[in-house]
Amino acid sequence: MPAHTPPPSSGDLFGSPDEEAPWDEPIAPGAVLLRRYACARAPALLAAVKAIAAAAPFRHLITPGGQRMSVAMTNCGAQGWISDRRGYRYGPRDPLSDQPWPAMPDILAELAREAAARAGYADFAPEACLINLYRPGARLTLHQDRDELDLRAPIVSVSLGLPATFLFGGLQRADPTRRFPLVHGDVAVWGGPSRLAFHGIAPLRDGLHPATGDSRVNLTFRKTR
């Protein structure tokens, strides 16, 4: 090797010099943040989201209590999560069009499966991908993901675009909540003893991100039954 050859940089391995190698940050039993895990695939993920939203537009769902959610949502996959006056549930069709939800692109399903495996959950096969769109001010109050029938499967949640603050508590609503920053490419996986942990997203702060402009996109993968 000639003396002037530079040492291999992370750019050789991870696509571009500003992409760091992912690292794992356990936050609770069964729960881990896979830092920057989705960075390299983010452009393809966002292109897929754009195509999905062209067929099944983002909309602000109404809670059973009659509140308009500040986060706009759509879905892809065999099942989509919806909320209306009748309650929270999964269904195979977009209520806006009465068409099936767009299929889950392989690039999404593969990312979810690989992230789950890295977090210790082998053979994760999500049927549902809820796509959340946050604009500044949008938030998700503390809640449990408990509309799924099979609680053995984890939740895999991918953050893209503007940073957010993830609130992660315990199994009781009143348990103390810790705050974790989530940035572009971070993936949170929680299951096992943390599967029913209360969690949420603090109100999104103003900002501009090169990949998403003035918004944050979150992909939440779930096995629903």
89 known member of a binding site: yes
What is the rounded radius of gyration, in angstroms, for the C-alpha atoms of the chain? 18
Please report whether residue 94 would count as binding Fe ion according to CB under 5 A: no
CA distance linking residue 210 with residue 220, whole number of Å: 22
CB 182, min distance to ligand SIN, A: 6
Label the pairing between strands 216-222 and 155-161.
antiparallel
By the rule CB under 6 A, 201 interacts with ligand SIN: yes
Establish whether 199 is an annotated binding residue.
Answer: yes
Count of residues of this chain found to bind ligand SIN when the rule CB under 6 A is applied = 9
- Give the shortest CB-60-to-ligand SIN separation in angstroms: 15
Rounded to whole angstroms, the Cα distance separating 138 from 141 reads 10
C-beta of 48 vs 201, nearer to Fe ion: 201
Question: Is 88 known to sit in a ligand binding site?
Answer: yes
Q: 111-130: which residues touch ligand SIN (CB under 6 A)?
A: none
* Residue 103 Ramachandran class (φ > 0 left, ψ -120 to 50 alpha, else beta): beta
What is the pairing mode between strands 128-134 and 164-168? unpaired
Residue reference for tokens 């549902």: 128
What residue ranges bind Fe ion (CB under 5 A)? 145
Detail the residues annotated as belonging to a binding site for substrate.
81, 88-90, 147, 173
Detail the residues annotated as belonging to a binding site.
81, 88-90, 132-134, 143, 145, 147, 173, 199, 216-222
